[in-house]
């Protein structure tokens, strides 16, 4: 009888172990799948965590504070997700400001053992450094070197090597670097490659240092090739009514912030007042922008209006997605897909207006560089999550087409943004020498 009971107990234990093993296999598979997704490109805006955002800081730009000051205050106070949310929605920061804060914020996330959030920051640094057509090559190389070191600290060797290889390429090919800057990059790369165990790349960097030290007459940096001065939407599109409504919204936001400053929670009436101010501002701005677009066919003016529309829709997107840390307008939250669709349409209109402006340039030699510049900018906005559901493959093909036309025309530039499909099917953008354009990316 005792033996019989023991047999049944052993059978039960065996079944339980089999179930645990099966469960572990499922968990392993799911985690593996999640890791595969996390290793590819992620939409920076869709990835925000609204429940980690501190509204007593995030609301300051709505009350009229500078976004840069708010980001710095959030980082200083350890409110990293708040700083992240403001950064990804902002159009007011310069790219050098954005790059510096993203590297700093990613470093803070890494030290807080938030590798996933750090990787999101570093992904954006890489995308801006590669795609931004207005960034100088010294700034581009510095950003890529910084993010390479951060990826190395995250123990993401593949991403670190990719960034360092791009720095190497800039140091070799860019005609716009001072010799001292070029040498400093090679010195840094020799160390960085060595720390990653990439001996061949480290030797290549060392050989370049020797070559530079033996140069009797170093070449001065070349002047950048002439580029069309395309508008960036900095001209204001406003009216007396819109200005008054903006002031009303700032006052309503300040009233909500005052409740937090006094150590309490804002009264529902204060939040409702801010919601009503946002609704009034939304109706007035979208109506004004619609009228302005209907009233002009000039691409330059239309671009200014499109940018102002995008700026407002991004704020509306932030409210709808909980990007201020509290539910300001539940109706906008429910309409999030529609708001994203409006944003996509605005970006599509902006893209077409830019193309019209470029093709109508009086200086024919600027049409090619202008088209290439526009396509890089639009892809960058897609990579940063602003241009929601942007046609990535179609725009990548158009980018390559523009680059090939410049190369065929004998453009003075030596490096062009190229694209390939990664192991996970995601598009990977990188700089490529003109004579290797369209080929697989190679290290040094």
Any idea what DSSP says for residue 440? P
Go through 283-309 and write b for each residue having 16 or more CB atoms within 10 A of its CB, e for each that does not.
Answer: ebbeebbeebbeeeeebebbbbbbbbb
Distance CA 168, CA 201 (A): 9
DSSP code of residue 421: E
DSSP annotation string for 30-74: HHHHHHHHHHS---TTTT--GGG--HHHHTGGGGT--HHHHHHHH
pLDDT at 78 over 50: yes
Length of the chain: 444
Q: Tens digit of pLDDT for each residue in 228-261?
A: 889 888 888 999 999 999 999 999 999 999 999 8
Per-residue model confidence (pLDDT) at position 220: 83
Query: Could you give the CA distance from residue 77 to residue 70 in angstroms, rounded to a whole number?
Result: 10
Q: What's the pLDDT score for residue 28? A: 34
Nearest CA among 144, 187, 150, 184 for reference residue 167: 144
Lowest mean pLDDT segment, chosen from 19-33, 350-364, 428-442? 19-33
What is the CA angle 60-66-68, rounded to 5? 105
Position 20 confidence tier, pLDDT thresholds 50, 70, 90: very low
More confident residue, 39 or 232: 232
Q: How far apart are the first and last CA of the chain?
A: 75
What residues have CB less than 8 Å from 417, skipping those under 6 apart?
Answer: 130, 131, 376, 399, 403, 429, 430, 431, 432
Question: Closest Cα partner for 278 from 305, 253, 255, 241?
Answer: 253
> In a 10 Å sphere around its CB, with 0-12 CB exposed, 13-18 middle and 19+ buried, how is residue 57 labelled?
buried
Output 211 or 13, whichever has higher pLDDT. Answer: 211
- Residues with Cβ within 8 Å of 370's Cβ and at least 6 positions away in sequence, in order, are 227, 228, 230, 357, 358, 361
pLDDT at position 23: 40
d(CA 96, CA 382): 19
pLDDT band at 156 (very low <50, low <70, confident <90, very high): very high
Q: 10 Å Cβ neighbour count for 214? A: 7
Contact 83, 358 (CB under 8 A): no
**Mean per-residue pLDDT for 308-326?**
98
> How many Å apart are CA 161 and CA 149, to the nearest integer?
9
**Cβ-contact 185, 201 below 8 angstroms:** no
| pLDDT 10s digits, 89-98 | 999 999 999 9
Among the listed residues 341, 332, 318, the one whose alpha carbon sits nearest the alpha carbon of residue 276: 332
pLDDT computed for residue 203 by the predictor = 98
- Residue with the bigger pLDDT between 7 and 419: it is 419
Q: Are 142 and 124 in contact (CB under 8 A)?
A: no
The b/e string for 31-56 (b: 16+ C-beta within 10 A; e otherwise) is eeeeeeeebebbbbbeebebeebbbb
3 state SS of 427 = strand
* C-alpha Rg value of the chain to the nearest Å: 26
Residue 393 in this model has a pLDDT that exceeds 70: yes
Q: What is the pLDDT of residue 226?
A: 79
For 432, phi then psi, to 5°, come to -135, 140
- pLDDT higher than 50, residue 190: yes
Strands 427-433 and 415-421: antiparallel
- Enter the tokens of residue 26: 């499922």
Q: How confident is the model at residue 10 (pLDDT cuts 50, 70, 90)?
A: very low
Q: How confident is the model at residue 227 (pLDDT cuts 50, 70, 90)?
A: confident
Query: Is the separation of the CB atoms in 354 and 301 below 8 Å?
Result: no
Distances (CA, A) of 389 to 145, 206, 285: 30, 44, 24
Predicted pLDDT of residue 444: 64
> Percent of the chain, pLDDT > 90?
82
Rounded to the nearest integer, the mean pLDDT of the chain is: 90
Backbone angles phi, psi at 28, to 5 degrees: -60, -45
The string of pLDDT tens digits covering residues 252-307 is 999 999 999 888 899 999 999 999 999 999 999 999 999 999 999 999 999 999 99
DSSP codes of every residue in 205-271: HHHHHHHHHH-SSPPPPPPPPP------S-S----HHHHHHHHHHHHHHHHHHHHHHTTS---HHHH
The C-alpha angle 61, 67, 233, rounded to 5 degrees, equals 100
When mean pLDDT is compared across 105-114, 349-358, 414-423, the lowest value belongs to 414-423
């Amino acid at each position: 009888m005792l033996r019989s009971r023991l047999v049944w107990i052993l059978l039960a234990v065996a079944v339980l172990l089999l179930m645990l093993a099966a469960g572990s296999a499922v968990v392993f598979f799911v985690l593996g799948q999640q890791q595969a997704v996390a290793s590819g490109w992620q939409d920076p805006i869709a990835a925000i965590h609204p429940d980690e955002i501190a509204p007593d800081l995030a609301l300051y730009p709505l009350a009229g504070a500078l976004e840069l000051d708010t980001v710095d205050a959030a980082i200083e106070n350890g409110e990293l997700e708040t700083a992240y949310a403001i950064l990804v929605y902002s159009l007011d920061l310069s790219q050098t400001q954005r790059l510096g804060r993203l590297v700093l914020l990613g470093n803070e996330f890494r030290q807080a053992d938030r590798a996933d959030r750090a990787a999101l920051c570093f992904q954006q640094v890489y995308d801006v450094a590669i795609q931004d057509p207005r960034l100088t090559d010294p700034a581009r190389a510095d950003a890529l070197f910084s993010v390479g070191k951060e990826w190395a600290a995250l123990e993401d060797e593949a991403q670190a090597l990719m960034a360092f290889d791009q720095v190497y390429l800039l140091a070799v090919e860019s005609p716009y670097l001072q010799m001292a800057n070029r040498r400093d990059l090679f010195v840094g790369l020799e160390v960085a490659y060595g720390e990653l165990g990439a001996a061949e790349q480290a030797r290549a960097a060392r050989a370049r240092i020797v070559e530079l030290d033996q140069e009797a007459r170093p070449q001065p940096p070349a002047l950048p090739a002439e580029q069309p001065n395309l508008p960036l939407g900095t001209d204001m599109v406003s009216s007396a009514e819109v200005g008054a409504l903006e002031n009303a919204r700032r006052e309503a936001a300040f009233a909500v912030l005052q409740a937090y400053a006094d150590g309490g929670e804002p009264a529902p009436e204060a939040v409702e007042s801010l919601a009503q101010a946002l609704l009034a501002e939304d109706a007035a701005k979208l109506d004004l922008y619609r009228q302005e677009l209907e009233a002009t066919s000039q691409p330059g003016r239309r671009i200014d209006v499109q940018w102002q529309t995008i700026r407002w829709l991004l704020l509306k997107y932030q409210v709808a997605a909980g990007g201020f840390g509290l539910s300001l307008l539940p109706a906008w939250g429910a309409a999030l897909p529609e708001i994203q669709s409006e944003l996509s349409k605005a970006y599509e209109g902006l893209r077409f207006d830019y193309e019209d402006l470029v093709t109508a340039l009086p200086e024919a030699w600027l049409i090619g560089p202008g088209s290439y510049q526009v396509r890089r900018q639009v892809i960058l906005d897609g990579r940063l999550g602003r241009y929601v559901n942007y046609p990535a493959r179609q725009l990548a093909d158009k980018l390559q087409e523009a680059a090939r036309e410049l190369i065929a025309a004998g453009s003075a530039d030596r490096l062009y943004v190229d694209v390939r499909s990664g192991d996970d099917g995601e598009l990977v953008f990188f700089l490529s020498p003109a004579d290797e354009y369209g080929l697989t990316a190679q290290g040094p």
